[in-house]
Amino acid sequence: MPRVSTILLTGFEAFDGAASNSSGDAVALVASRWSSPIRLVTAVLPVAFDGAPQLIGSLIAEHRPELVIATGLANGRPAITPERLAINLADARIPDNAGAQPLDEPVDEAGPAAYFSGLPVKAIVARLAAEGIPSTLSQTAGTFVCNAVMYSLMRTVAGTHVRAGFIHVPSSPELAVGTAHPSVPIETIARALELAIEVCLEPESLERIRGGAEY
Ligand code: PCA
């Protein structure tokens, strides 16, 4: 990977009737206390199949980051989950914020079935676990807007030196009120994203880490 002078970190706005989105809130917290000389560009993406992929594409064209980490909320997951794969499928259980609800459509007619994350996903999980932050590897980013963003992001950077990928984060305690969802404080989620950035900036370790799953 070339020397990193700009990082793009994105979260999402609220969706599905919630008051906020822990990914967008955590990204804002990271931005507010960023002190590295590396330029950090942050953005909150709309939860829209037609909008979010285009916005991340235009942010990459405008700011030319060497590292891109997109994040989103995985309501119900108990841990920070770097995503291993984005698949070429949009199949929405609920409408997005623009009312779109694609059913078994490709994200990109001309694209391959899937893209792997360009981030050192297992090393991120290992670092977070070592810091006492719950983290597990997720094999796929689902089939809603987050997956569409990760897929488009990976398609945009394919064949370039830009390192990119996606991390799903849990609900914050405020979002989980009145639900059975597990939650992690915004402060911890923000710290996890800072650590994930640190891991991405380190020279890649040759250590191989197990992270398979039966389901
Ligand atoms: N989570 C949703 C979309 C936006 C977000 O934060 C998802 O996982 O697809």
- The answer to whether 113 and 87 are in contact (CB under 8 A) is yes
Catalytic residues: 83, 146, 168
- How sure is the predictor about 207, in pLDDT bands with cuts at 50, 70 and 90? confident
Is there a domain that residue 113 lies in? yes
Looking up tokens 């050192």, which residue turns up?
A: 120
Is there a domain that residue 57 lies in? yes
Q: What is the pLDDT of residue 206?
A: 75
Closest C-alpha residue for ligand 1 atom 1? 73
pLDDT value at 1 more than 80: no
DSSP β-ladder status, 163-169 and 67-73: parallel
Is there a domain that residue 213 lies in? no
Is there a domain that residue 212 lies in? no
Task: Indicate which CATH number applies to the domain containing 176.
Answer: 3.40.630.20
Is there a domain that residue 164 lies in? yes
189 by DSSP, 3-state: which? helix
Task: Determine the structural domain holding residue 29 and report its residue range.
Answer: 6-205
Can you spell out the DSSP letters for 159-179?
A: TSS-EEEEEEEPBPHHHHTTS
Give the tokens for residue 158. 């394919």
Is there a domain that residue 122 lies in? yes
- The answer to whether 3 and 62 are in contact (CB under 8 A) is no
Give which of 63, 61, 59, 83 is closest to 72, Cα–Cα: 83
Give which of 206, 202, 193, 201 is closest to 82, Cα–Cα: 193
Ligand 1 centroid to Cα of residue 30, in Å, is 19
Residues 107-143 have pLDDT tens digits of 999 999 999 999 999 999 999 999 999 999 999 999 9
Domain count, the chain: 1
More confident call, 179 vs 40: 40
Pocket test for ligand 1, best of 144, 147, 152, 186 (most atoms within 8 A of CB): 144
User: What is the spatial distance between Cα 186 and Cα 122, in angstroms, rounded to a whole number?
Assistant: 22
pLDDT value at 2 more than 90: no
More confident call, 211 vs 166: 166
Percent of the chain with pLDDT over 90: 91
Q: What is the pLDDT of residue 168?
A: 98
